[in-house]
Amino acid sequence: MVRRLIKLMQILLEYLQDSWRFTYYNSHSPFQPRSKRIGYHTVIETHTVEKGLVLPKPRPFFGLEKISSILKMQQIKGIERAPFPRRMLLGALAAYLEWHKKYPNPQPEIVEKIEKFVREENLSGVVASGGVRNTCPPINNLAAQEFLMSRFSSRVFDAEPLPTNLVEQIVLIAQQAPSQCNRQSSKVYHFFSKEIIMSLLDLQGGSKGFSDNVPTLFLITSDITAWGGAQQRHQLYVDGGLFSMQLMLAMHAFGVLNCPLNLAVSNSTESAIKRIANIPASERVIMMVAAGLPSRSGNEKGILSVAASPRRSLEEVLFTSRN
């Protein structure tokens, strides 16, 4: 009974620390740098402009008030405008003007402000990157279905770390993961030093029996400052999880073996991990992924032994509404 009570108290204590961390680092907190908060805010608000342009029937001159407030944000004294939000905003506003060319202008004052902003950003050499892009609907692709069905976790790897250029290609694909309002709060830390990997896996605790055989380790985090307000307190784990999944699928696509590793750790262990991995206090850890190429000295037929990990029946997972 006492042990159970202690466990329950521990939950409360961890939640208290979680709450403090979120309160201190979230985007409404005055303790976070203004430029960073405005950067995320710009991306989130700009994305609503992008989305508005691709609705089935965009309402002409939608969101003028919102655009006006985004422009005001850019003029706040003393903020540093980061390249990504800046490029995204320019692209979205240029697309907005282009789309509205054929419509009579109901609020010339605001539209002129947008035109002036776009002109000046173009003149100062900002390369636009947001807006609207044309693409093709996905096709029914049997090879892709087989590929997705074939993924698995491996706990055996070749000793050589993954080459950096391969890691970069993998992360470029991981970045295609969706994120809320395109804020892209996820980050991935990449390690290949045996010593650091061992000390990180020691704290992780779920890789006993194969931790000394991990040539490359990824640690995925999410930036708390990308999120704001009570309702968003858990959302960093949603985006971080989606990013991690796409990272693992990207590895699978490049023939890289990998194993997700939980970071179900206390706040104090998380802090120790962040110290070793040099991760800012404003980020929360999501998970680790061990990775490496298939062992060259392994089975000649190229057969790998992996845990079967059977799946539950579809009826246990899929519930289709009758209406």
Ligand X SMILES: Cc1cc2nc3c(=O)[nH]c(=O)nc-3n(C[C@H](O)[C@H](O)[C@H](O)COP(=O)(O)O)c2cc1C
Report the amino acid identity of residue 207.
Answer: S
Based on CB atoms, which residue is closest to ligand X, 32 or 207?
Answer: 207
Q: Decide: is 305 part of the binding site for ligand X (CB under 6 A).
A: no
Based on CB atoms, which residue is closest to ligand X, 206 or 298?
Answer: 206
Q: Min. distance of Cβ 204 from ligand X in angstroms?
A: 7
Among candidates 273, 209, 286, 275, which has minimal Cα distance to 243? 286
CB-CB contact of 150 with 230 (8 Å): no
Query: At 48, which helix (H) or strand (E)?
Result: helix 34-53
Among candidates 130, 23, 124, which has minimal Cα distance to 70? 130
Kindly state the DSSP code that residue 152 receives in the 8-state scheme: -
Please state, as a whole number, how many other Cβ atoms lie within 10 Å of the Cβ of residue 229: 11
Residue reference for tokens 């999410």:
222
- Contact positions with ligand X (CB under 6 A) in 145-184: 152-153, 155
Please state, as a whole number, how many other Cβ atoms lie within 10 Å of the Cβ of residue 220: 22
Q: Min. distance of Cβ 293 from ligand X in angstroms?
A: 18
- Contact positions with ligand X (CB under 6 A) in 187-226: 206-207
Among 141, 262, 266, 268, binds ligand X (CB under 6 A): 262
Based on CB atoms, which residue is closest to ligand X, 102 or 311?
Answer: 311
Q: Min. distance of Cβ 263 from ligand X in angstroms?
A: 8
Q: Using CB under 6 A, which of the segments 24-32, 61-69, 126-134, 253-261 binds ligand X?
A: 253-261
Based on CB atoms, which residue is closest to ligand X, 54 or 304?
Answer: 304
Kindly state the DSSP code that residue 54 receives in the 8-state scheme: T
Residues making contact with ligand X (CB under 6 A):
152-153, 155, 206-207, 259-262, 287, 306-307, 309
